[in-house]
């Protein structure tokens, strides 16, 4: 399974419209658990909480930031990009 989300609320930075782009691959072990059918939901939520915390703390998302699953695997990217 592969989850792709784009938050389509444009922001204006100077004269440039930007979009926050987020991409998460959900096809590895961190997103599966035979005893919990919601394991993928829980891992996506954990990653999104990390992104939200970074936004609140002022991390620079002008360049793509790598997103990691609970096992430390690279599973996606997030950034503000010109639209």
Pick the residue with more confidence: 1 or 66?
66
* Domain extents in the chain: 2-82
pLDDT in tens, 16-41: 778 999 999 999 999 998 898 899 99
What's the Rg (C-alpha) of the chain?
14
> Looking at beta carbons, which pairs linking 68-73 to residues 24 or more positions away fall under 8 Å?
69/28, 69/30, 69/31, 69/43, 70/30, 70/43, 70/46, 71/28, 71/29, 71/30, 73/28, 73/30
Helices (H) and strands (E) in the chain, counts: 1, 4
80: pLDDT strictly greater than 80: yes
| Torsion sign across C-alpha atoms 44, 79, 18, 53 | positive
Residue 66: pLDDT band (50, 70, 90) is very high
């Amino acid at each position: 399974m592969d989850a792709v989300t784009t938050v389509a609320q444009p922001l204006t930075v100077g004269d440039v419209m930007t979009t926050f782009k987020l991409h998460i691959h959900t096809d590895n072990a961190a997103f599966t658990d035979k005893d919990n059918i919601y394991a993928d939901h829980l891992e996506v939520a954990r990653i999104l909480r990390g992104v939200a915390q970074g936004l609140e703390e002022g991390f620079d998302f002008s360049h793509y930031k790598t997103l990691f699953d609970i096992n430390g695997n690279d599973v996606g990217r997030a950034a503000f990009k010109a639209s």
